[in-house]
Structure 1
Amino acid sequence: MNIETKFFGEVAIKKEDILIFEAGVPGFPDAQKFVLLPLDADLPLVVLQSIEKQELGFILAYPFAFKKDYSFDISEEEKRALQIEQEDDVVAYAIVTLKETFQESTMNLLAPIVINTKKKFGKQIVLQDSELYPLRYPIGLEEGSAK
């Protein structure tokens, strides 16, 4: 099937690639169906594109590529909501806020996007320990100099 996207115009997607965000994403409760689209093969970035709202697309980063010690726990309630059975079925991303240069851009480590790649469910999870990770972590920050 073809969809209109925020960044790429019209693209073809497979029905089996559609991710369900049952509660939508914060600020967009009516957008529940998304797809991940590759942004650049050389960068750990993707676009989370709504298939229901063309103008709704988020650039996501694989946070571990920028902050190797990034980790968090998923509550039992969230595991049930995402139907997580095995840790290997889960991938986490961080929403990126683009600035004038990529090095000045930030990613949201406080509220990762968690996806069950096997069951095709996704959710943005707000971490309870807000002191541990910032809302705006600089992508260009050298590893080891965070805090």
Structure 2
Amino acid sequence: MKITTKNFGEIEINEKSVIDFIDGIPGFDHLKKFVLIENPEEDMQFHWLQSVDDGDVAFVVINPFLFKPDYDFEISENTIIKLQLEDPKDVAIYSIVVVPEDLTKMTANLAAPIVINTKNKKGKQVLLDSDKYSKRHYIMEELNIVSEEVTKKEEEAL
């Protein structure tokens, strides 16, 4: 299946990779079908959640555990039922990233993670019922710290 996108031009996607966001994404409730476009650069942690319904809409996303290893929240029973989650191994979590001109001010929305059932390709943005996490969590410093720790461990292994 081919889709035309603002950021990537015309791309071929596998229909089996389309994620069904039953409730849409808040603010984009009318858009239900998305595809995760992984960054081809292996060391780049950012990916794109591209709308299949509207080629102009794509969100930069990141696995929040890459910069916040202690990120923790409970998936509600309602979400488990909606996404038909049966096994924790089938869950992928992403955070939507805001990329401003000044990259040092890049933020991730930890208060509303994207939860995807990788087995049946159902997704939902979950609004956490807690003030533990921010909608604008600055991530660049933490990404740099994590990157430095990985490099240090790699050097020690040599």
Question: Is TM-score (shorter-chain normalized) higher than 0.5?
Answer: yes
Could you say which residue in structure 1 is the equivalent of 2:24? 24
Deviates further, 94-103 or 46-55: 94-103
SS at match of 1:141: helix
Cα distance in 1 between the residues matched to 2:5 and 2:98: 18
Give 2:84's aligned residue.
Answer: 83
**Corresponding position of 1:121:** 122
- Residue deviations 1:45-88 (CA, integer Å, cap 9, x gap): 11001111011110001111111111111011110001100000
The answer to whether the 8 A contact 1:6-1:49 is kept is no
TM-score under structure 1 normalisation?
0.92
Larger radius of gyration: 2
Identical pairs, percent: 43
Give 1:41 deviation, angstroms: 2.7
- Deviation, structure 1 residue 29: 1.3
Give CA deviations for 1:91-125 in whole Å, capped at 9, x if unaligned.
Answer: 10000000224332000000000000001000000
Aligned length: 143
Counterpart secondary structure, 1:123: strand
Distance in 2 (CA, whole Å) between partners of 1:43 and 1:71 is 23
Q: Partner of 1:5 in structure 2?
A: 5
Per-residue deviation at 1:141? 3.1
CA contact (8 A) 1:102 1:139 kept: no
Quick one: which amino acid aligns to residue 73 of structure 1?
E
> Which residue number corresponds to residue 60 of structure 2?
59
Amino acid at match of 1:50: S
**1:138 aligns to what?**
138
Residue 6 of structure 1: how far off its partner (Å): 2.8
- For 2:110, the equivalent position in structure 1 comes to 109
Structure 1 spans left out of the alignment, 5+ residues: none
Q: 2:104 is aligned with what amino acid?
A: Q
- TM-score, normalised to structure 2's length? 0.86
Structure having the larger proportion of residues in helix: 2
In the alignment, the residues of structure 2 paired with residue 38 and residue 79 of structure 1 have an alpha-carbon distance, to the nearest angstrom, of 25
Matches within 5 A, 1:43-54: 43-54=44-55
d(CA) in 2 for partners of 1:13 and 1:52?
A: 13
C-alpha contact 1:24 1:32 (8 A) present in aligned 2: yes
Moved over 3 A (4+): none
Q: Which residue in 2 is equivalent to 1:14?
A: 14
Structure 1: distance between partners of 2:64 and 2:78: 23
- For structure 2, list consecutive stretches of 5 or more residues without a partner in the other structure: 146-158
More displaced 10-residue stretch of structure 1: 32-41 or 16-25: 32-41
Per the alignment, in what secondary structure is the counterpart of residue 123 of structure 2?
A: strand
**What is residue 154 of structure 2 aligned with on the other side?**
none
